[in-house]
Structure 1
Amino acid sequence: MKVMVIVKASAASEAGVMPSKELMEAMGNFNQELVNAGIIESGDGLKPSSEGLRVHFSGAKRSVTQGPFVETNELVAGYWVWNVSSLDEALTWVKKCPNPMMDDSDIEIRPFYSKEDFAEIKDSAGVIAQEKTLQQTLSIQKATLNNYLFFSGRCEEALNYYVQHVGARIGMLIRFSDSPDPLPEGMLAPGFENKVMHCEFTLGDSKVLASDGCGEGTKLSGFSLALTVATADDAHRVFAALAKGGEVTMPLAETFWSPLYGQLIDQFGVAWMVMLPGATP
């Protein structure tokens, strides 16, 4: 379930008092725990209400009030969005949180509505379908797309050249010999055992993915578009759409580098990799 964890404002936060270094460090450590646990989607602190606006709705009229707003106990100073298994899990995490204020404070946990909550409303099917489409669109807008180059045995040579001459910065690099799973017999050309299975390098503000591929040769053998999406539903939906009229070269499946990964060539001849983000070994 998805919950919003709301840090209520205090007199100090409304006065713009900044947290101490010790509190910043404690909250940073707590946020790192949330990241490590894989439950946090987002989180931010809010400036005092003196820097905000409030819009009042009355029929067709709209009136705007400049902050500050006096009801401090009703104001929000910050929040997280978490994906947890239950309210009890969210409560357990909140109890671990350092006091987010220099004085007494409150943190509120509020579950999000889901589509299922509205299913019993009469004639709501069309609205629910529209909401699902909007959520899918928003999710895909957050996906990342990278070029994936295949160097046919010269990947490491190319990386070193790009580092020396165009300032490339090498990130992760995995060789075929690093794979914890045995490769299918006959998949790898002789002499490719120590070649680059996968790597990432940054050039300017762009990240490029690369590999030696599995075959022989001395020239660039092609490229793919590597699409990383947020959820398994996104991966299956996008993979099925791209595969329609095309050719699946590797069905979606769990791999040691991704919870879900697959390859295909679409009906226009473009090669794609669709994957979920995963921890690298």
Structure 2
Amino acid sequence: MQLNHYLNFQGNTEVAFNFYRSVFGGEFLNVMRYGDMPAEEGISLSDAEQQKIMHISLPINEFTVLMASDVNEQFCAQTNQPFTVGSNHYISINLDSSEQAEAKRLFDALSKGGSIEMPLEKTFWGALYGAFTDQFGIKWMVNCQLENE
């Protein structure tokens, strides 16, 4: 298991992460834009929104990866969580495919008494993923990468 920091920005993730890369060095592991998502009914994104960052990751050292995404009004309305500078941070738990049961256990235990933002479920990026705010107001993500199915 690896714990990482996951940040949310309001449209300037790419600028912020280019800055962080200039400070820490290294190369981005992943850069996914909202335009890379499979089309879903009812979701319409402008050309500008499609260019925003859905996920980016920058290794800081062998133990830590800094990750982030842009959030927009549609996301905030869907999750019923307004964007607030200062509370735009998650602790991200990352597990490999052999730890699916542990991912579920951690999600269920840590989210008890809290508020689930996204239930733990399979995603289009090949992971078991869920997000929540725990009973103490701390935001968490659980991401268990699945083997190619």
**Shared fold (TM-score, shorter chain, > 0.5):** yes
Return the structure number with greater strand share: 2
Higher relative contact order (CA closer than 8 Å, sequence separation 6+): 2
Which structure 1 segments of 5+ residues have no match?
Answer: 1-142
1:269 partner letter: G
Pairing 1:201–2:58 present: yes
Q: Identity over aligned residues, as a percent?
A: 34
Q: Cα 1:165–1:243, aligned 2, differ >3 Å: closer, same or farther?
A: closer
Select the residue among 213, 229, 238 that pairs with 2:106: 238
1:253 partner letter: E
- CA apart distance, 1:233: 1.2
- CA apart distance, 1:202: 1.9
Q: Secondary structure at the match of 1:199?
A: strand
Pairing 1:224–2:90 present: yes
1:198 partner letter: H
- CA apart distance, 1:268: 0.7
Larger radius of gyration: 1
CA contact (8 A) 1:173 1:196 kept: yes
2:49 partner letter: F
**TM-score (norm. length: structure 2):** 0.77
Cα displacement string for residues 217-236 of structure 1 (whole angstroms, at most 9, x for unaligned residues): 8x676111111224221121
Structural mapping, 1:1-281, within 5 Å = 143-182=1-40, 185=43, 191-205=48-62, 206-215=64-73, 222-230=88-96, 231-278=99-146
CA distance in 2, matches of 1:152, 1:279: 32
**TM-score (norm. length: structure 1):** 0.43
CA distance in 2, matches of 1:195, 1:220: 20
Alpha-carbon RMSD across the aligned residues, in angstroms, is 2.8
CA contact (8 A) 2:21 2:58 kept: no
CA contact (8 A) 1:189 1:215 kept: no
CA distance in 2, matches of 1:261, 1:151: 20
Which structure 2 segments of 5+ residues have no match?
Answer: 75-82
CA contact (8 A) 2:54 2:70 kept: yes
CA contact (8 A) 1:197 1:212 kept: yes
